[in-house]
Structure 1
Amino acid sequence: MARKKKEEAQKTRQQLIEAAIGQFATRGVANTTLTDIADAARVTRGAIYWHFSSKSEIFNAIWEQQIPLREIIRDRLSLSDDVDPLLMLREQFIASLQYIARDPRQCALLQILYHKCEFNSDMISECEIRNRIGINYDYLRGTLKQCISRKVISPSVNIELALIVFHGFFSGVIKNWLMNSDSFNLYQQAPALVDNILATLQGSRMPPAVYGAAL
């Protein structure tokens, strides 16, 4: 009996989190009330206070349980770890953009982050959220170093500058697409978009078939 009640409580908590994601993405965090979340989750307002003491606590719970995108798309990758590291990076970038384009929950989360949130001191910071779910700089840095050591890209590539460019590129593409998803087809154009950003790695020696559409 105790176990069943615990499972039911966990189910209700998750219902509240999912309802909050939908409400925050639609109304904005500031304009969403606890009543809005309760109504969307089809529970009483009292049920919210059983699990969360405030709207900020719900907001934090959303991001604390969110795993990095690179882990979400891991099973979608076809290339093995011993392949050309630049081709592997290309596949990861494409898979990430295409996942965002097709997954409503991921879209809602990014809509909250980019367009529907004003942060306060009780909330997880925007920087922490981006570090939690976004580009892993240590992994990217290591991959680019592998590319240089294997002569896939030029040793003159400034890795730290490349990381800044990658971050700005992907943040800009996603933010603009979320503002108007009809402006371009993110899923279909993901390969060309990724090829264009990878083309900034001067001296890269990817196959012409990969870069052909970008140049």
Structure 2
Amino acid sequence: MRRTKAEAAETRAAILAAAEQMFFEKGVSNSRLEDIATAAGVTRGAVHWHFANKTDLFLELYSAVQLPRINMLDLEQANEKGCDPLAFIEAAALNWLDLLSKDQQRQRMLTILLRTNFTGELERVQVAVDALDAEQTQTLTEMFEKAASLKLLDQQWSARSAALALKWLMKGACWEWLLTGQKYELAEAALGMKTLIASFRKL
């Protein structure tokens, strides 16, 4: 039984690896399950045993390399160590940029997301992406609200406007970096992000 489970796990991993590479090279809409099966060295039946369709396969890949989550529990733990919300947000954002610059799998998956038209059978992927985006915006807003309650947030910013500005800068910088073939260093985006966060802080 253990061997069977191990073999199933290996097959699933092979399918996911083949799908990721094919989605990156050919695009999601141009990738057929038959081709993914061939690339993975398995039968189409094996692919269908693990995944009902291409959408389920893509969602599995996406869930494995989602954007790092900033959550309120982490912030509360940081507060206990004397870290203010704005410093925590800056550290988390810098960590995300550093992670993206080094993680090629994450780079491939985000590039696939940017290239894909999520209509028809792939609408469920867009729903998942939108849900994560909304969750992160809400979490960032709550963090900036915490900063405001501590008299740290400059009055020119509302909690929501600060959250949106930071999100737009981060996403825009990362998306352009990926779509233009990484023609500049993400450290440049980090400098811009630091400048923006400095404007959030009340002097």
Deviation at 1:24, TM superposition (A): 0.9
Distance 1:133 1:154 in 2: 25
CA distance in 2, matches of 1:93, 1:171: 11
The alpha-carbon deviation at position 92 of structure 1 amounts to: 0.4
Displacement, 1:93? 0.4
2 CA distance for matches of 1:143 and 1:89? 8
What is the distance in 2 between the residues matched to 1:101 and 1:127? 26
The unaligned stretches of length 5 or more in structure 2 are: none
Q: Which residues of 2 match residues 81-100 of structure 1 at below 5 A? A: 81=79, 82-100=82-100
> Against the structure 1 CA distance between its residues 163 and 147, is the aligned structure 2 distance closer, same or farther, given a 3 Å change threshold?
same
* Contact residue 94 and residue 190 of structure 1 kept, 8 A: no
In structure 2, the partner of 1:153 is: 153
Q: Distance in 1 between the 2:159 and 2:133 partners? A: 21
1:161: Cα distance to partner? 2.0
Using the size of structure 2 for normalisation, the TM-score is 0.82
Aligned to 1:54: 53
Alpha-carbon offset, residue 164 of structure 1: 2.4
> 1:70 aligns to what?
69
Indicate if the aligned counterparts of 1:19 and 1:37 stay in contact, CA closer than 8 A: yes
Deviates more, 1:168-177 or 1:124-133: 124-133
C-alpha distance 204-126 of structure 1, shift in aligned 2 (>3 A) = farther
Corresponding residue number in structure 1 for 2:202: 204
Q: Counterpart of 2:129?
A: 129
Q: 1:7 — aligned with what? A: 6
Q: Describe the superposition over 1:91-134 as per-residue Cα deviations: whole angstroms up to 9, x where unpaired.
A: 1001101111110111111011112x121343324242243378
Corresponding letter in the other structure for 1:86: L
Cα pair distance change 1:42/1:197, threshold 3 Å: farther
- Show the counterpart of 1:110: 110
Distance 1:185 1:65, change over 3 A: closer
- Other-structure match for 1:33: 32
CA separation in 1, counterparts of 2:125 and 2:56? 13
8 Å Cα contact 1:66/1:133 also seen in 2 = no
- CA 1:133–1:43: 2 relative to 1, 3 Å: farther
* Structure 2 match to 1:101: 101
Q: How many residue pairs were aligned?
A: 196
Instruction: Tell me which residue corresponds to 1:185.
Output: 185
Deviation at 1:144, TM superposition (A): 0.7
Cα offset, 1:80, TM superposition: 3.9
- The aligned amino acid for 1:204 is K
C-alpha RMSD over aligned residues: 2.7
Which amino acid is the alignment partner of residue 25 of structure 1?
F
Q: 1:193 to 1:126 in 2, by over 3 A?
A: farther
Residue of structure 1 equivalent to 2:174: 174
**Whole-angstrom distance in 2 between the partners of 1:64 and 1:95:** 19
Gaps of 5+ in 1: 206-215
